[in-house]
Structure 1
Amino acid sequence: MKIFTLHAKQRLPISKQEAWDFLSNPANLKVITPDYMGFHILSGADRSMYAGQIIEYIVTPVLNIKTKWVTEITHVKDTSYFVDEQRFGPYSLWQHKHFIKEVEGGVEMEDIIHYKLPFGIVGQWLHPFLVKPKLDEIFSYRKEKLEALFGKL
């Protein structure tokens, strides 16, 4: 059983509160997700983020295959961090930690994702050819989109 990790950091010239207000609003996930992925929230994004919140959405990550994804917000520390974990979806394990800290001139946002692929050895074999490049592409898009919205530090 192989658990993979994706780690990304980005600095933006905005306040911690501005970063939190944007990132903790589930509706903004669509804004920072590539359009071709067909991201659509089905339910759960009608309130401010709280621990225990369940969010259901549809996403089309590869080969035009629509996938229902259900996440739970498991931890929240206002303006500092939150954690979402997949309850149902394409991964055997998905835990995404979002951290926000003040730095000179703005904030640093850090994402740490631990994930495990289904299908045993086949999933592990597909990781470097399909999954990792797709995740890298999504996070690259996210970085560019956030810089376009808020500027670059």
Structure 2
Amino acid sequence: MSRTFSLRTVQNLPISPAEAWDFFSRPDNLVRITPPGMGFSIRSHHHGDRMYPGQLIEYTVTPFPGMPLYWMTEITHVSEPFYFVDEQRFGPYALWHHQHHFREREGGVEMTDIVHYRLPFGIFGVLGGSFVRKKLEAIFRHRYDVTTQLFGAWPEQSCSIRFFRS
């Protein structure tokens, strides 16, 4: 049986929680915060410009050159402006559960992402774990850089991504 992995990243931004919610709750902005090399594109007509519970979003993602993959996630929980959760319904993972949390703090907002994921293919998936970990780390580092460019840097902060394994 494959293991469940998780990652946690925290980023502070010098914007209001409402501004953070406005940006991150729009599915179209996923393209802006995903590395261009991932070949990420939204395929679905997501029925509105804001996330809502039950919303299905379809993507194409290309983690390897010339190998586009279909991915569908469902927005399962939304509590504006505090958090939302997306879960994979079809795609490259055996499990994908991604929590996006927003907490007001003096001078801005603290964003925390918690991702639980499990790789497919049993032992072969486990063997590919370091590749997937590096890809996820690159995705969240890219998102950190893009959001810092868009909204400004938080003093004395660097990109922090912690991985865990159960």
Please, what TM-score do these two structures have when normalized by structure 2?
0.89
Q: Which residue matches 2:94? A: 92
Once residues 99 and 108 of structure 2 are traced to their aligned partners in structure 1, the CA distance between those partners, rounded to angstroms, is 20
Which residue identity lines up with residue 87 of structure 1 in the other structure? R
Where structure 1 has 5 or more consecutive residues not aligned to the other structure, the ranges are none
Determine whether 1:4 maps to 2:5.
yes
Q: Which residue matches 1:145? A: 146
Measured against aligned partners, the alpha-carbon deviations of 1:64-85 in whole angstroms (never above 9, x if no partner) come to 3101100000000011100000
Once residues 45 and 7 of structure 2 are traced to their aligned partners in structure 1, the CA distance between those partners, rounded to angstroms, is 26
Once residues 14 and 45 of structure 1 are traced to their aligned partners in structure 2, the CA distance between those partners, rounded to angstroms, is 26
Once residues 44 and 20 of structure 1 are traced to their aligned partners in structure 2, the CA distance between those partners, rounded to angstroms, is 21
The structure with higher relative contact order (CA 8 Å, sep 6+) is 2
Q: How many pairs are equivalent?
A: 152
Determine whether 1:26 maps to 2:27.
yes
- Cα RMSD after superposing both structures: 0.9
Q: Which aligned runs of 4 or more in structure 1 are off by greater than 6 angstroms?
A: none
Q: Which residue matches 1:53? A: 55
Where structure 2 has 5 or more consecutive residues not aligned to the other structure, the ranges are 155-166
Q: Which residue matches 1:40? A: 41
Determine whether 1:73 maps to 2:71.
no
Once residues 55 and 93 of structure 2 are traced to their aligned partners in structure 1, the CA distance between those partners, rounded to angstroms, is 19
Query: CA contact under 8 A between 1:27 and 1:45: conserved in structure 2?
Result: no
